[in-house]
Amino acid sequence: MKVNDYIQFVVFVSSLIAITPPLGSFMAKVFGGEKTWLHKPLSWLESLTYKAAGVNPNEEMTWKKYAMFFALFHFVGIIVLMLFQMTQVWLPLNPQNLPNISWHSALNTAVSFVTNTNWQGYSGEITMSYLTQMAALSVQNFLSAACGIAVAIALIRGIARRSVGTIGNFWVDTTRGTIYILLPLSVIYSLFLVSQGVIQNFTPFADIVTLEGHKQTIPLGPAASQISIKMLGTNGGGFFNANAAHPFENPTPLSNFVQMLSIFAIASALTYTFGIMTKARRHGWILFTSMLTLFIIMTSISLYSEYTYNPILSQNAIMEGKEIRFGVFNSILFSSITTSASCGAINTMHSSLSPLSGGVAMLNMMLGEIIFGGVGAGLYGMLLFVLLTVFIAGLMVGRTPEYLGKKIEAPEMMMVILAIIAPCASILIGTAISVTTPLALSSLTHKGPHGFSEVLYAFTSAAANNGSAFAGLNANSIYYNLMLAIVMLIGRFIIILPILAIAGSLSQKKYAPPSSGTFETDTALFAILLIGVIMIVGALTFLPSLSLGPIIEHLMMIKGQTF
């Protein structure tokens, strides 16, 4: 690593710390129903949304009603996305006459974009019309992100409210998140991306003759407006197949830096929002610090691995699958960020990473994407581990555990365990079924441990709603399209429904004032305990499967073994 690489890393972390308070307090105002400077130009749009949809914005919802609307809205989203994909040849803005998409691929993509996963079994530039990209996929990038933030806010309300039983209004939260946060940020961000060279047009593909006289067809389209929300909303679904490695999607080192920052921006700011809304600002910073610590540990392991000498290729810092304008350092940093958050955009081909770097990418997702994590998803995922930690600490001293003035009892803990175990189980069971099914194994392109990693990565990515891939795997088959769609739905709903149930249950509880026996959650000791619990749960669950994939591949690589 060069000195310049270290400086870039320091600049990245400093920028992240700098944007967290302003964005976090802005979001606290928006979701607290206070007026912000954006209300003057945009509040008419909010009212218009409620009128158009027939929503009563003053209605307060129980967790069951909130969850019902959440599920209904996802259902409608899946149907609409499938319709667009399966009829695109008859719709406008399809200059290349791209054909309609098969039902199983359309279903997989629909579930993928509605659940904020953005797993892509298809190649964007040769599959999706401009209309499908912008009116179907891009819209869902906004909405899946706004829904994720809404759930996090609902959980925060559940913790903050006393003896109420309601957790807000699903439509109001989703609308406000979209209109005051995601949309204005996307407008500015898209223009910045265009200034760097991201394309934004409706022109048919360009046929050119290169300097040496070869023919080249260059795909075009309205990319910038989709890429901005793809990063901000931690969606990650690329306009082009190569995702953020494509020069039209991520043209310069500066666009790359801002894209990395924007993946973490909202998730990081939500820790501050959480601190304000629960009146526990120090605890909010403790969550931020725990996330940052984990992020630095994981990124360091990944960098160490990538700069380790590979005797097979007689090199270290291998450039396979990486772009010159990013280099090795910014490629590894991006891979660590995108898998910590549930983004899944990639600027380097993860299958070509060194074995342990690929392993870190998987472990980041396996921990539940709580290292900043997805927008909303990162915070509520982290709060699951916080509740688990508080509970374990309570058991150690033999008291009913309390968290921010709320007693944590059996019903909450059952939901916490369900939400932590469900994605883990679906990763391991899905992988186990696939590596014993000949049909599933026929999609592999690698032999040996890397082949196993391809399958493990796919199920991890789907369950964690990440969407990145070891793209050697040919996943656009009926088997993987359906299996991964099911796992994506589990990864979304079997976390969010328990979260909303916890929010509802906590909101009904009375305030229990802290006493001398209360375990303090705003200390460094708590941060250490929290990180410990996360690592133990992650390691115990996934060490065996990681040993069969990236770890053994790394050990064999050092001995010069090829596959």
Q: Find the part of the chain contacting another protein (CB under 8 A) among 31-39, 235-243, 269-277, 286-294.
A: 235-243
Q: How far is CA 14 from CA 9, 26, 28, 251, 497, in A?
A: 9, 19, 22, 23, 35
Other Cβ atoms within 10 Å of 35 Cβ, number = 10
State which of residues 154, 286, 349, 404 lies at the interface with another protein (CB under 8 A): 349
- Report whether 151 contacts 499 (CB < 8 A): yes
- Report whether 57 contacts 50 (CB < 8 A): yes
Which H or E run contains 207? strand 206-209
Question: Binders of another protein among 155-174, rule CB under 8 A?
Answer: 171, 174
Question: Binders of another protein among 315-344, rule CB under 8 A?
Answer: 315, 317-327, 330-331
Give least dist CB 518 to another protein, A.
41
Q: What is the DSSP letter of 118?
A: -
State which of residues 85, 116, 347, 521 lies at the interface with another protein (CB under 8 A): 347
Q: What is the DSSP letter of 177?
A: I
Decide: is 67 part of the binding site for another protein (CB under 8 A): no
Residues 282-321, mask of contacts with another protein (x by CB under 8 A):
----------------------------x-xx-x-xxxxx
Decide: is 399 part of the binding site for another protein (CB under 8 A): no
Decide: is 80 part of the binding site for another protein (CB under 8 A): yes
Decide: is 18 part of the binding site for another protein (CB under 8 A): no
State which of residues 69, 264, 459, 480 lies at the interface with another protein (CB under 8 A): 69
N-term to C-term CA, the chain: 28
Q: Which of 164, 183 has the CB closer to another protein?
A: 183
398's CB contacts (< 8 A; 6+ apart) are: none
- Which pair of structure tokens corresponds to residue 268? 């990081």
State which of residues 30, 82, 145, 220 lies at the interface with another protein (CB under 8 A): 220
State which of residues 216, 436, 515, 516 lies at the interface with another protein (CB under 8 A): 216
361's CB contacts (< 8 A; 6+ apart) are: 302, 335, 336, 339, 350, 353, 457, 468
Decide: is 10 part of the binding site for another protein (CB under 8 A): no
Question: Binders of another protein among 173-192, rule CB under 8 A?
Answer: 174, 178, 183, 186-187, 190-191
Decide: is 197 part of the binding site for another protein (CB under 8 A): yes
- Report whether 443 contacts 480 (CB < 8 A): yes
- Report whether 225 contacts 194 (CB < 8 A): no
Q: Find the part of the chain contacting another protein (CB under 8 A) among 249-257, 457-465, 484-492, 538-546.
A: 249-257
Q: Which of 141, 541 has the CB closer to another protein?
A: 141
Q: Which of 284, 344 has the CB closer to another protein?
A: 344
Decide: is 214 part of the binding site for another protein (CB under 8 A): yes
State which of residues 196, 289, 293, 477 lies at the interface with another protein (CB under 8 A): 196
- Token pair 């590979």 is at which residue? 310
Question: Binders of another protein among 482-541, rule CB under 8 A?
Answer: none
- Report whether 484 contacts 118 (CB < 8 A): no
- CB neighbour class for 430 (10 Å; exposed up to 12, middle 13-18, buried from 19): buried
Q: Where are the alpha helices (DSSP H) in 215-370?
A: 224-232, 253-277, 281-306, 327-340, 355-366
Give least dist CB 407 to another protein, A.
33
Residue 409 region, left (φ>0) first, then alpha (ψ -120 to 50), else beta?
beta
Which H or E run contains 498? helix 478-508
Q: Find the part of the chain contacting another protein (CB under 8 A) among 45-53, 391-399, 513-521, 531-539.
A: 45-53
Q: Is 222 helix (H, G, I), strand (E, B) or coil?
A: strand
Give least dist CB 206 to another protein, A.
7
Question: Binders of another protein among 252-271, rule CB under 8 A?
Answer: 252-254, 256-257
Decide: is 251 part of the binding site for another protein (CB under 8 A): yes
Q: Which of 48, 539 has the CB closer to another protein?
A: 48
Residue 199 region, left (φ>0) first, then alpha (ψ -120 to 50), else beta?
beta
Closest CA to 308 of 269, 353, 255, 338: 353
C-alpha–C-alpha distance, residues 306 and 317, integer Å:
5
Q: Which of 288, 326 has the CB closer to another protein?
A: 326
Give least dist CB 527 to another protein, A.
31
Binding residues for another protein, total number by CB under 8 A = 118
Q: Which of 124, 344 has the CB closer to another protein?
A: 124
- Report whether 454 contacts 550 (CB < 8 A): no
Decide: is 47 part of the binding site for another protein (CB under 8 A): no
Decide: is 448 part of the binding site for another protein (CB under 8 A): yes
- Which pair of structure tokens corresponds to residue 278? 């629960």
Residues 352-391, mask of contacts with another protein (x by CB under 8 A):
xxxx------------------------------------
Q: Where are the beta strands (DSSP E) in 357-454?
A: 402-403, 406-407
Decide: is 198 part of the binding site for another protein (CB under 8 A): yes
State which of residues 109, 118, 144, 226 lies at the interface with another protein (CB under 8 A): 226
Give least dist CB 264 to another protein, A.
17
State which of residues 55, 301, 413, 551 lies at the interface with another protein (CB under 8 A): 55
Question: Binders of another protein among 115-154, rule CB under 8 A?
Answer: 123-126, 134-136, 138-139, 142-143
